């Protein structure tokens, strides 16, 4: 007799999964409502769910002490000055770019934001729901941290504050440039307020600093605390609103359609519409450098190991080298389309009929011009935006009242992802994508396999990958469940299931492209969220991302040229 004893009560992974689901349902409800107060009753579910989740990226959010790495991660993705604003308005592209307002673009997220006045910040949403979820999650973290500060500095109900707060206020409001001594005194008081050591704050200080705001960490802590104190004492709550135009437009592929139409018009203009097309979702340098670096760089630069050359090209300081390669590419068949649709997805189109392959690392034997590949590279999409853009791109184009179907031979997706076994810079080859929070799964035949990359000097893992609703919502318990369960998950990312949904719809349901379109997916690890100190908040990949990026790019291009 077989018995199946089930544990009573819910595991931490199940609680976390429910918390993520609750957050998403709540965020959609608040969006439909049009506004909410994050630290009021309407924001309570979001706060409680985030504190129950305690995602790895937000570190010590559930503890009394302030979280510094998580704070840096968040402020890098939100507009400078948002900590001073009591009104945050999420809008569509509503014409602010044509006004006197200066666009503020966060360093780690390409989105246009506008400071309307002392109290209000507008954030333009052009990438769909995933972008809204991302912003609301970060803002919830920010406001939870702000109330930690207010709890530590308010002495009584009248709003009297501790001496540390008064000293911080004097330092922030001072019009003079701080001396080293004054800065260290201010750091001492701030460390007390945050429940952190002087050493921890001294180490974090330069990471927050900008050229025009060297004391930015003090500034952020002061304004977060100041607005939280006003919420506590005067009940003047911060408010997040969603503009009526944003609520009306969301989900209608408005930006994706404009983006796709621009690209198809460019293909038509250059006589490339009816040529075989290979789509690659990747960054804006690896395909260009793989095809043109060898031929464009002479002398000492050309004698380096090819990966050293790629490392040099990935450094923004080497603008002369980069410009040489880009100039060579533009002279030999590359068309660059900088995005104006609002998707923030730039495009490169490579006409292989114009490339001299003797100056490249590749052999391409096709001699008939009409059969020569057109390689179409699109920058990374963001979450659900992957479906919107690819779905629109794969639709036929109408020329002179005739529908022309694109001859899409292959679609390759290269991206960054979190790895659950291994470390930064390792490579993951998925065999299927699962959509988090559902049993929706997208198995596919991946033209890339582990064997293709075995001798490339990087560790390679093969298995299932989870397309998560947001990387900033994952905690160790959920990730351990993914890894240990029979789903056999090797990593997590945000776009795979959305891309595959668009590919399957176009090839198997709508008949927009060939049913036998070849599909390639490969990811390189930007972080290991199961490792302490290995999350995205611990810093970027640096040069460790160069080798896997180019190894994957090379394999994709070899398969295109030899297919």
The answer for residues whose C-beta is within 8 angstroms of residue 38's C-beta and 6 or more apart is: 46, 47, 139, 140, 143, 237, 238, 240
What distances in angstroms separate CA 292 from CA 328, 361, 405, 438, 528, one per listed residue? 7, 9, 30, 43, 33
**In the beta sheet, which residues pair with residue 342?**
none
Q: Where are the beta strands (DSSP E) in 440-499?
A: 441-443, 460-467, 489-493
DSSP readout, 422-467? S-TT-EEEEEEEEETTS--EEE--BS--GGGGTTSSS-EEEEEEEE
Q: Dihedral (C-alpha) 435, 436, 440, 444: value to the nearest 10 degrees?
A: 40
Length of the chain as a residue count: 563
**In the beta sheet, which residues pair with residue 35?**
241
Taking 70 as the threshold, does the pLDDT of residue 300 lie above it?
no
Taking 60 as the threshold, does the pLDDT of residue 360 lie above it?
yes
Q: What is the DSSP letter of 178?
A: P
What distances in angstroms separate CA 314 from CA 51, 388, 469, 493, 550, one per listed residue? 38, 29, 30, 23, 11
Q: What's the rounded mean pLDDT across residues 47-66?
A: 91
Element (H, E) at 264: helix 254-269
CATH class of the domain comprising 251-562: alpha beta
Give phi and psi for 259, each to the nearest 5. -60, -50
CA 280 to chain centre: 17
Secondary structure (3-state) at 123: strand
The predicted-structure confidence for 178-225, as pLDDT tens digits, reads as follows: 999 999 999 999 999 999 999 999 999 999 999 999 999 999 999 999
Taking 50 as the threshold, does the pLDDT of residue 476 lie above it?
yes
User: In 315-424, which ranges are continuous DSSP H helix?
Assistant: 319-331, 385-393
Return the axis-axis angle of helices 180-194 and 163-173, rounded to nearest 10°. 140
Residue 276 backbone class (left: φ over 0; alpha: ψ -120 to 50; beta: rest): beta
Distance, in Å, from the CA atom of 310 to the CA atom of 305, rounded to the nearest integer, reads 9
Q: What is the mean pLDDT of the chain?
A: 91
Domain boundaries, the chain: 12-247, 251-562
The predicted-structure confidence for 91-145, as pLDDT tens digits, reads as follows: 999 999 999 999 999 999 989 999 999 999 999 999 889 999 999 999 999 999 9
Q: 251 near 128, Cβ under 8 Å?
A: yes
| pLDDT computed for residue 8 by the predictor | 44
Taking 80 as the threshold, does the pLDDT of residue 301 lie above it?
no
The two counts, helices (H) then strands (E), for the chain are 18, 18
DSSP readout, 225-255? HHHHHHHHHH----EEEE-HHHHHHTTS-HH
CA 132 to chain centre: 12
């Amino acid at each position: 007799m077989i018995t199946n004893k089930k544990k009573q009560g819910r595991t931490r992974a199940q609680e976390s999964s429910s918390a993520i689901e609750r957050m998403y349902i709540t965020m959609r409800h608040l969006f439909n409502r049009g506004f909410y107060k994050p630290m009021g009753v309407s924001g309570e579910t979001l706060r409680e769910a985030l504190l129950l989740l305690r995602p790895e990226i937000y570190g010590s959010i559930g503890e009394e002490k302030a979280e510094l790495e998580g704070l840096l991660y968040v402020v890098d993705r939100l507009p400078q000055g948002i900590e001073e604003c009591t009104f945050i308005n999420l809008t569509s592209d509503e014409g602010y770019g044509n006004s006197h307002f200066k666009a503020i673009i966060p360093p780690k997220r390409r989105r246009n934001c506008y400071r309307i006045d002392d109290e209000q910040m507008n954030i333009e949403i052009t990438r769909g729901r995933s972008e809204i979820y991302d912003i609301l999650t970060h803002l919830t973290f920010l406001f939870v941290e702000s109330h930690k500060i207010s709890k530590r500095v308010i002495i009584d109900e009248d709003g009297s504050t501790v001496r540390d707060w008064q000293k911080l206020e004097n330092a922030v409001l001072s019009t003079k440039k701080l001396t080293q001594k004054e800065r260290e005194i201010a750091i001492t008081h701030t460390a007390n307020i945050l429940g952190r050591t002087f050493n921890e704050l001294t180490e974090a200080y330069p990471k927050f600093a900008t050229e025009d705001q060297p004391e930015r960490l003090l500034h952020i802590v002061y304004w977060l605390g100041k607005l939280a104190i006003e919420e506590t004492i005067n009940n003047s709550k911060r408010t997040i609103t969603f503009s009526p135009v944003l609520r009306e437009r969301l989900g209608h592929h408005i930006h994706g359609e404009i983006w796709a139409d621009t690209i198809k018009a460019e293909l038509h203009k250059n006589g490339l519409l009816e040529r075989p097309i290979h789509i690659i979702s990747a960054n804006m340098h690896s395909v260009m450098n793989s095809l043109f670096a060898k031929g464009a760089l002479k002398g000492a630069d050309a004698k380096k190991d090819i990966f050293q050359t790629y490392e040099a090209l990935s450094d923004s300081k080497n603008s002369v080298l980069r410009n040489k390669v880009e100039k060579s590419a533009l002279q030999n068949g590359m068309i660059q389309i900088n995005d104006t649709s609002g998707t923030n997805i730039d495009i490169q189109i490579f006409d292989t009929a114009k490339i001299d392959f003797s100056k490249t690392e590749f052999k391409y034997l096709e001699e008939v011009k009409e059969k020569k590949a057109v390689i179409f590279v699109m920058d990374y999409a963001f979450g659900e935006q992957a479906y919107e853009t690819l779905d629109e791109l794969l639709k036929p184009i109408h020329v002179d009242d005739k529908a022309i179907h694109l001859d899409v031979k292959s679609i390759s997706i290269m991206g960054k992802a979190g790895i659950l076994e291994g470390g930064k810079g390792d490579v993951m080859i998925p065999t299927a994508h699962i959509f988090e929070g559902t049993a929706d799964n997208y198995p596919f035949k991946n033209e890339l396999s582990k064997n293709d990359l075995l001798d490339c000097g990087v560790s390679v893992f093969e298995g299932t990958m989870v397309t998560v609703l947001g990387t900033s919502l994952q905690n160790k318990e959920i990730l351990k469940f993914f890894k240990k369960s029979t789903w056999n998950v090797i990593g997590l990312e945000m776009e795979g299931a959305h891309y595959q949904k668009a590919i399957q719809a176009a090839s198997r349901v709508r008949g927009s492209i060939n049913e036998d379109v070849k599909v390639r997916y490969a990811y390189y690890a930007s972080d290991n969220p199961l490792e302490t100190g290995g999350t995205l908040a611990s810093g970027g990949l640096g040069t460790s991302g160069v080798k896997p990026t180019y190894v994957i790019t090379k394999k994709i291009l070899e398969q295109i040229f030899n297919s």
